[in-house]
Amino acid sequence: PSDIAAAVSRLEKLGISSPALYDTPALNIAGNPFDLFRANISKTLSEISGVEPDLIVPALEWTMTPDRGDLVIAIPRLRVKGKKPDELAAEWAEKYPSTPFLSKVAAKGPFMQFFFDPQLLYKTVIPEILKQDSKYGNSNVGAGKRVIVEFSSPNIAKPFHAGHLRSTIIGGFLSSLHERLGYEVVRINYLGDWGKQFGLLAIGFAKFGNEAELERDPINHLFKVYVTVSSAQAAEKDAGAAAETVLALKASLKKEGASDQEKADIENKLAEAEIKAKELAKVALDAVVVLDKDHPLKDEKDIDPAYFIPRPIDSEAKAYFKRMEDGDEEALSVWKRFRELSITKYTTTYERLNIHYTEYSGESQVSEASMQGVIDLLEQKGVLYEDRGAKLIDLAKYNKKLGKALIQKSDGTSLYLTRDLGAAIERYEKYKFDKMIYVVAAQQDLHLAQLFKMMDLCGFPWAKDMVHVNFGMVQGMSTRRGTVVFLDTILEETKDAMHDVMKKNQVKYEQVESPEEVADLVGISAVMIQDMQSKRVNNYKFDWSRMLSFEGDTGPYLQYAHSRLCSVERRAEISHEQLMAADFSLLTEPIAEELIRTLAQYPDVLMNAHRNLEPSTVVSYLFKLTHIVSSCYNILWVAGQEPALAAARMALYSSAREVLNSGMILLGLTPVERM
């Protein structure tokens, strides 16, 4: 319900008695200036035209440029029979009464354009923004609703790659956005923390892991262990295969009845195979010795290439994972420590990005029972079929693109998809969500489409509330030295690079109190803004020099714009009371009008972002805002002006700073006051 009474009393204080307002729950009349105008225009236009106000409200649209008004309506959308849209537009514009809400109503072809009265905007929007506990832009559309946002979801012992970074940034934004719109938000990190690679990791760690290293830097250490043990595993496999070839050739030499020519051929092959087997055995030996100092074969001379049957890392790993799956406490405790230490480390890194999770979940947390439950349900619905002991589902019947999906292997083990099916049910049971958002790369479009379709086939009505927010790839994200990236490393490097950029301006640099901290915050903004600047589906190139620049639409530029507004505020030394009581009739310049019209859009911008789930909607708006503010500096002086004029202008600048600050925090940045 809109609290129209609050809006009416505010308008009456401004001398607008019994304002024409259409009261509808679809509009946030008290909190969103555009909705206030929508309520007014729909009521008045309805009286003139006889069209239902409910039809008018959604037809009032934003314009591309301020010279076309603040809201515009395409008359054909109102479906009035008889007259031509052009005629109706002209007729209604003519009949439109003069009102304190609008400075102009114009007909343009089949459109009617509405120009908000700037004085009314100054008087309503500025005090609303500057109110002590301003929640300008917030709304209660989500009140009483719960949304799950699943995001980041990296894999333990594997790199935190660009896809995880994007998921983290976009998911953090979507969580905050929903919170501001009144939803209760549950943030879930669904870790890749299960699978046979953990058997491999555990035996790798037993062979050459290092306790101190694990405690100090679990993420990098586990990755190192994993890389080493998996390359040893591969080397062993190759050496084993080569040794088998040698044995097979030797066996065929002994066969009776081969011609001399054939024997000669086999001998040639055998000679080659022995060389190859010896080489691979050496590689495997090196890899194995790195892993295991006590390995019985320590020396090249110990190897007989034909009989080199290396210690089977592969089967050890499988056996280990089997113990984990069977719930063997000892096997699980090792894995559990890896998981916990990784989570602790991730938590501090996420904190740097202002991100906190409600729950660290993961593939390992999905119960056998929930997975079996889904399989049973699908079986009952008659949509599963078996192939050589494995269970599959043919989704192509419903949508060609969905194809077939495997949900249980012939040995009865689960898959990534099976675990997601179980996880979805568990989440619904636990949270009864109204919406569940998966922030996952577009590479997994098919996976999520299959998941959603299967939940739908199970007959869960909430399947329609599952949303995949996808995104494109980042090209060339590596550290500046070109190695594999971990989130932490990227943030450290950005900080250092930003610090270097800052040091170039010696004078300014010396005024910054804690340059390291500022470099960190500005550096993080650089990474985040680069990521959120264009539509999610677009790929982009990770570009160090462009993203760290203060010129152009970058994170550092937004930070600079914010700190400059802070500095204007500091120097003006005008009290909050003076700003609230300022005489806005002194604001007459077109650039001031452009600024207030833009500030009035902010709550609507958040609603648009809520609709398209695009951070770029907010980012583009903040750039538009900061560009206008920057044009204001040449015209709207504060220093050295009459106190009344200075106060009015300062109130406008302070409002701009509030909105910029609010938008930056929404995006996950920490605005700095000096830089």
| Contact residues: ligand ARG, CB under 6 A | 150, 153, 155, 190, 192, 420, 438, 440
How far apart are alpha carbons 34 and 58 in whole angstroms? 12
270 three-class SS: helix
Contacts of 214 (CB under 8 A, 6+ apart): 205, 221, 222, 337, 338, 341
Say how far apart CA 528 and CA 667 lie, in whole Å: 8
Residue 146 neighbours by CB distance under 10 Å: 16
Shortest reach from residue 155's CB to ligand ARG, in Å? 5
**In whole angstroms, how close is the CB of 666 to ligand ARG at the nearest point?**
24
| Smallest separation (angstroms) from ligand ARG to the CB of 150 | 6
Nearer to ligand ARG, 206 or 446 (CB): 446
Closest residue to ligand ARG in the complex (CB): 192
- Phi first, then psi, for residue 189 (nearest 5°) are -110, 110
Closer to ligand ARG by CB, 294 or 429: give it: 429
Half-sphere exposure of 442 (CA within 13 A, CB side): 9
Reference 383, options 464, 465, 467, 453; nearest CA is 453
Q: Least CB distance from residue 472 to ligand ARG, whole Å?
A: 15
Q: How far is the CB of 470 from ligand ARG (least distance, A)?
A: 11
Of the listed 43, 123, 164, 495, which one is catalytic?
164
Alpha carbon 134 to its chain centroid, in Å, reads: 26
- 158 or 674, CB closer to ligand ARG? 158
Query: Where does 445-486 show beta strands of DSSP type E?
Result: 466-469, 474-475
Residue 591, CA distances (Å) to 449, 621, 633, 639 in order: 48, 17, 10, 18
Q: How far is CA 168 from each of CA 18, 160, 184, 661, rounded to the nearest angstrom?
A: 48, 11, 19, 21
33 contacts 600 by C-beta, under 8 angstroms:
yes
Q: Which of 43, 161, 278, 495 is catalytic?
A: 161
164 is catalytic: yes
Question: In this complex, which beta carbon is closest to ligand ARG, that of residue 107 or of residue 149?
Answer: 149
Please confirm, yes or no, whether 158 is among the known catalytic residues. Answer: yes
C-beta of 154 vs 663, nearer to ligand ARG: 154
| Pairing state between β 146-150 and 184-191 | parallel
Q: How far is CA 262 from CA 21, 126, 248, 256, in A?
A: 99, 95, 15, 11
Choosing from 84, 108, 131, 158, the catalytic residue is 158
Task: Give me the half-sphere count of Cα atoms (radius 13 Å) on the Cβ side of residue 101.
Answer: 27
Shortest reach from residue 164's CB to ligand ARG, in Å: 6
Nearer to ligand ARG by Cβ, of 183 and 438: the residue is: 438
Nearer to ligand ARG, 2 or 489 (CB): 489
Tell me how far apart the 2 most distant CA atoms of the chain are, in Å: 114
For the chain, the straight-line distance linking the first and the last C-alpha, in angstroms and rounded, comes to 43
Looking from the CA of 260 toward its CB, the CA atoms found within 13 Å total 0
Q: How far is the CB of 419 from ligand ARG (least distance, A)?
A: 8
For residues 122 and 151, which CB has a smaller minimum distance to ligand ARG in the complex? 151
Q: Which residues contact 5 (CB under 8 A, 6 or more apart)?
A: none
State the minimum distance, in angstroms, from the CB of residue 640 to ligand ARG. Answer: 57
List residues with catalytic annotation.
158, 161, 164
